[in-house]
């Protein structure tokens, strides 16, 4: 892919007291505006922030790892799309990339090689779900072999967050989690978490874990309420923080959210899109969040084309820390109960109401 490389630029910014406005230089604003039609991106560096408008830009996990709370979600992108989106995210100031093994990983690897910015990126990836009937010891070995392959392709010595998918077999999850703890001890992953774990699955691995998951990656969007099924409270009481996906719904944008009068009217008051309001609600509610580059996605597919929309979408999402919802607006959105959603939608058949169970 042909790429125009811009010189790295330092963006001037100031972290101020919670609730105060984030001060961003006019230089940054004019630079970002001038790149809307760009088909390729360069990179710049940004200083660390503490709290912006009451929302943490990064978390310090139990082992001292600093995790940015806003991530690019590459789900469904091609290798080329993942590469372009990763570079665009870096350019927009998003330093956390959340990807799957396979073509998404391959695109991220190309972006790492093109940018030379490994130290600027927080890399989050997932272990593939073992096939039904896989013995626990074989499933555990698959954790180690997959990670070795991923590290080789990425050209790095470690990832920053490695997440484990669930299984209907508790013994498989426990064996795999022990392997994850071994990976953590070896330094090949700086932190470990889980993805789509319902209360039953969390209880399974917590009963034998020496190190609890740092995060549980689950769906969260307006209409589900602040804590669907009480899963956040269950995990967070046990030291498991919430990393959310699906701020606009999954496996594609929820029509009710896209057409939401509440999201649009709140957005108009702040000069923001309905997408930005949906994202800000998740962040301001205390979760970290992984976002698609645009709302053009569906089951197994997402886009980051060379038409400028991907870059523009990521710039808008990166501004999630620059403003805040009022207490009244948060209460209004907290109170909505439609569209409803299952926080562990893409779990295995071991958790209730999974997407895959509904498709059987």
For residue range 251-274, list pLDDT tens digits in order: 999 999 999 999 999 999 999 999
Residues 6+ apart with CB under 8 A from 31: 9
**Number of Cβ within a 10 Å radius of residue 29:** 12
Q: Do 306 and 84 touch, CB atoms closer than 8 A? A: yes
Residue 245 and residue 290 in contact, taking contact as beta carbons nearer than 8 Å: yes
Lowest mean pLDDT among 40-49, 193-202, 314-323: 40-49
pLDDT at 151 over 50: yes
Q: What is the pLDDT of residue 357?
A: 67
**Residue ranges per structural domain of the chain:** 54-358
Which among 215, 155, 153 has a CA at the least distance from the CA of 180? 215
What mean pLDDT comes out for the span 134-144?
Answer: 98
**Given a cut of 90, is residue 207 above it in pLDDT?**
yes
Q: Tell me which residue has tokens 């991907």.
A: 310
CATH architecture of structural domain 54-358: Alpha-Beta Barrel (3.20)
pLDDT of residue 149: 98
End-to-end CA distance of the chain: 40
Secondary structure of residue 107 in the 3-state scheme: helix
Q: Inform me whether the pLDDT recorded for 11 exceeds 50.
A: no
Share of the chain above pLDDT 70, in %: 84
Band (358; pLDDT cuts 50, 70, 90): low
Mean pLDDT of 296-319: 94
Task: Determine the pLDDT at residue 354.
Answer: 86
The answer, yes or no, to whether residue 31 has pLDDT greater than 80, is: no
How confident is residue 140, by pLDDT bands cut at 50, 70 and 90?
A: very high
Asked if the model's pLDDT at residue 43 lies above 60, the reply is no
User: Tens digit of pLDDT for each residue in 86-106?
Assistant: 999 999 999 999 999 999 999
């Amino acid at each position: 892919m042909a790429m125009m490389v811009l010189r790295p630029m330092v963006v001037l910014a100031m972290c101020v007291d919670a609730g105060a406005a984030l001060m961003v230089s006019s230089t940054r604003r004019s630079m970002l505006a001038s790149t809307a039609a760009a088909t390729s991106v360069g990179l710049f560096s940004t200083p660390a922030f503490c709290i912006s408008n009451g929302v943490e830009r990064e978390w310090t996990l139990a082992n001292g790892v600093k995790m940015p709370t806003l991530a690019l979600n590459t789900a469904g992108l091609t290798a080329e799309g993942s590469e372009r989106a990763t570079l665009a995210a870096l350019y927009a100031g998003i330093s956390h990339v959340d990807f799957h093994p396979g073509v998404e990983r391959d695109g991220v690897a190309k972006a790492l090689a093109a940018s030379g910015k490994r130290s600027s990126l927080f890399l989050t990836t997932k272990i593939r779900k073992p096939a039904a009937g896989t013995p626990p010891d074989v499933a555990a070995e698959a954790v180690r072999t997959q990670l070795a392959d991923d590290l080789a392709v990425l050209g790095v010595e470690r990832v920053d967050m490695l997440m484990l998918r669930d299984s209907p077999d508790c013994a498989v999850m426990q064996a795999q989690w022990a392997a994850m703890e071994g990976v953590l001890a070896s330094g090949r992953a700086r932190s470990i978490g889980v993805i789509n774990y319902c209360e039953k699955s969390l209880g399974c691995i917590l009963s034998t874990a020496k190190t609890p998951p740092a995060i549980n990656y689950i769906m969260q969007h307006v209409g589900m309420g602040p804590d669907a099924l009480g899963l956040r409270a269950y995990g967070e009481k046990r030291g498991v923080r919430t990393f959310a996906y699906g701020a606009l719904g999954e496996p594609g944008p929820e029509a009710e959210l896209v057409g939401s009068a509440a999201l649009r009217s709140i957005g108009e008051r702040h000069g923001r899109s309905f997408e930005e309001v949906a994202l800000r609600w998740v962040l301001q509610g205390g979760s970290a969040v992984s976002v698609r580059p645009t709302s053009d996605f569906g089951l197994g597919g997402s886009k980051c084309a060379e038409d400028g929309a991907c870059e523009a979408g990521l710039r808008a999402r990166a501004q999630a820390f620059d403003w805040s919802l009022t207490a009244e607006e948060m209460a209004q959105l907290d109170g909505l109960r439609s569209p409803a959603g299952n926080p562990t939608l893409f779990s295995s058949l071991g958790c209730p109401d999974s997407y895959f169970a509904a498709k059987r």
